[in-house]
Structure 1
Amino acid sequence: MAFLRSVLTYSTSLLSTLTKQTNVIYVKRTFLLPRVTLYKHADARLFSFRRSCSSTAAKAEKGEDSFLKWFLLLIPATTFGLGTWQVKRRQWKLQLIDELSRLTTAEPIPLPLDPYELNNLEYRRVKVHGRYDHSKELYIMPRSPVDPKKEAREAGSLSSSGESGANVITPFHCTDLGITILVNRGYVPRQKIRPESRMKGQVEEDVDVIGVVRLTETRKPFVPNNDVEKNRWHYRDLEAMSRVTGAAPIFIDADFGSTIPGGPIGGQTRVTLRNEHMQYIITWYGLCAATSYMWYVKFIKKIKV
């Protein structure tokens, strides 16, 4: 009996143990299967998320490339526009040069006294008759002699001739008009600025003068102020010159034909304008061609540059 009781007790204990282990395994299986399924769903969502991120990044990169492509196209387009603008500027400059040349070679007209009419006649040739007042000469300096052919050849260059002197401005009483004007008689070298060094050219009798109407100037940057006390003028200020000499604010440049032997050399009107537009045209169109080729290679042929 004791043996049977002990066997029964052992069997009951073993059965209980096995039952508990079976329940644990079942429970573990019950909780394990959903986890495996959950992991599978999570992996699928992660893969889908990664694929979505990759697609979004690709679209963003494509959008950036498209923006860069059309933005860089602005460079050749802008340079082409600037080159075309310079073509038009060159045509305008050539027309202006032709107009100035026509005015300075036209037949001279009598000097009008109407200030409004004079303001519209700059560079127009006029003729006057009268006498110089050499006692009130003014000197615009430093100046170099005008050589129209040389200036046309060297227009826009920074080099200049080493010769320096002054333009002699002399009051001129117009006997037929009854007024006194200012006449730029022309250029004298530095050693001939003083009147006593060129007495042969200081004529006292009445003379005919043909010249070009000039208007007052505004002082340009870096140009010194006029020194009235020392009689050193750097730009044409008709009001100040009129106050000093008592002449009317009318100014003409005497032409070369009005030159008196031994006196200042006339024809000192500078009508040559800087015309560098062809250089600008070549520069802008050259940049347009170069940048257009680079754009084509980069975005059309897809070659790395």
Structure 2
Amino acid sequence: MSSLKAALVYSSRLLTTLKKQTNVIYIKRTLLLPTLTVFKRTDGRFVPFVRQCSSTAAGAERGEDSFLKWFLLLIPATTFGLGTWQVKRRQWKMQLINDLTKLTTAEPIPLPIDPHELNSLEYRRVRVRGRFDHSQELYVLPRSPVDPEKEAREAGRLSSSGETGANVITPFYCTDLGITILVNRGYVPRQRIRPETRMKGQVEDEVEVVGVVRLTEQRKPFVPNNDVERNRWHYRDLEGMSTVTGAEPIFIDADFGSTIPGGPLGGQTRVALRNEHMQYIMTWYGLCAATSYMWFAKFIKKIV
């Protein structure tokens, strides 16, 4: 009985010792396995598994670098294309401004009354003869004066003295056509908006006016609505102005040569075409140069 008990005790101790040894072996195997070279049979040969994994990872990394290299090259290529496109846009805009300048300085033609023909003649100089109806003046304000000579030389660039006033729109009965049109006689400062402050320029005789054809104007964002009752107009609404005055929806800006002494200053046509393409050209080409250098420094320079 005592021998059986001794055997059981010995067996228990042996099992405990084996468990401890097994735990030690498991822990060592777990810690050392990532650093051990494990061999894997491939094509009849033993190839180090860890070395194979490293080469596979390196290949994948090279593939990613190659894709990134050519993908990032799209940035300077795209910015170069945009810069070139802006060069062409600037050429087109300069040609458009030049064409408008020629229209506003060309020899005047008789005013056509066909609406379809007038729609294709905006900025074209025309000549009319007749009388003003000063009793129905309209005022477009606030407006600042335009330098007529400089405006003719530099179409699209506005110059202003800093003062504000109004443009005086007056019905004009054309004696040769038998119709009444609207004529923007020009600019007056704020203190001379009222007709009684400029009586010398309120001529009653028949006069000849040379002006530039203008079409109706759409209200721009943040521009107030026209106040018909108070006679405060903020944009050129031919339909509304014609309804108030009874004139035809035909509108011309009198040129500087048609200015009557003591009256509004003519030549207030604003050929306002934005021409900021040079800034865009410099921006896109600058980005192209910068990103091209960064691409070269990362993918080419380090190899050389």
CA contact (8 A) 2:110 2:127 kept: yes
TM superposition shift of 1:49: 2.8
Match of 2:91 in 1: 91
What's the offset of the Cα at 1:53? 2.0
Alignment partner, residue 38 of structure 2: 43
Preserved CA contact (<8 Å) 2:97 2:155: no
Preserved CA contact (<8 Å) 1:97 1:272:
no
**Alpha-carbon distance in 1 for matches of 2:256, 2:277:** 30
The CA distance in 1 between the partners of 2:163 and 2:150, in whole Å, is 14
Distance 1:287 1:138 in 2: 50
Is the contact between residue 131 and residue 206 of structure 2 (CA under 8 Å) also seen in structure 1? yes
Q: Does residue 210 of the first structure (1) align with residue 205 of the second (2)?
A: no
Contact map agreement 1:80 1:288 (CA 8 A) in 2: yes
Distance 1:58 1:42 in 2: 18
Paired positions, count? 263
Q: 1:275 to 1:127 in 2, by over 3 A?
A: same
Structure 2 residue matching 1:45: 3-state secondary structure: strand
Q: Deviation string for 1:227-255 (max 9, x for gaps)?
A: 11111111111001111111000000000
1:284 deviates by: 1.3
Instruction: For residues 260-305 of structure 1, give each alpha carbon's deviation from its aligned partner in whole angstroms, at most 9, with x where no partner exists.
Output: 00000000001253322222212211211111111111101128xx
Deviates more, 1:245-254 or 1:294-303: 294-303
Give the Cα separation in 1 of the matches to 2:182 and 2:248: 7
Asked if 2 retains the 8 angstrom alpha-carbon contact of 1:156 and 1:275, the reply is no
CA-atom RMSD, angstroms? 2.3
CA deviation after TM superposition for structure 1 residue 163, in Å: 0.7
The alignment status of 1:181 with 2:181, answered yes or no, reads yes
Counterpart Cα distance in 2 of 1:279 and 1:148: 27
Structure 2 distance, partners of 1:121, 1:62, is 64
CA distance in 2, matches of 1:154, 1:189: 23
1:126-165 aligned at under 5 Å gives the runs 126-148=126-148, 161-165=161-165
Please identify, of 282-291 and 88-97, the stretch whose mean Cα deviation from structure 2 is larger.
Answer: 282-291
Decide whether the 8 Å contact of 2:157 with 2:272 is kept in 1: no
TM-score norm. by structure 2 comes to 0.81
The secondary structure found in structure 2 opposite 1:240 is: helix
| Other structure's SS at 2:121 match | coil
Counterparts of 1:1-305 in structure 2, within 5 Å, are 43-45=38-40, 48-148=48-148, 161-302=161-302
Equivalent position amino acid for 2:190 in 1: R
- Normalising by structure 1, we get a TM-score of 0.81
Q: Determine which structure has more spread, i.e. the larger CA radius of gyration.
A: 1
Q: Where does structure 1 lack aligned partners over 5 or more consecutive residues?
A: 1-38
Q: 2:37–2:50: 8 Å Cα contact kept in structure 1?
A: no
Instruction: State the shift of 1:101 in Å.
Output: 1.0
Do the aligned residues in 1 keep the contact of 2:38 with 2:50 (CA within 8 Å)?
A: no
Deviation per CA, 1:116-167: give whole Å up to 9, x if none: 000010000000011101111111111111125666779679x964210110
Identity of aligned residues (%): 80
CA contact (8 A) 2:140 2:232 kept: yes
Compute the displacement of 1:48 (Å): 3.0
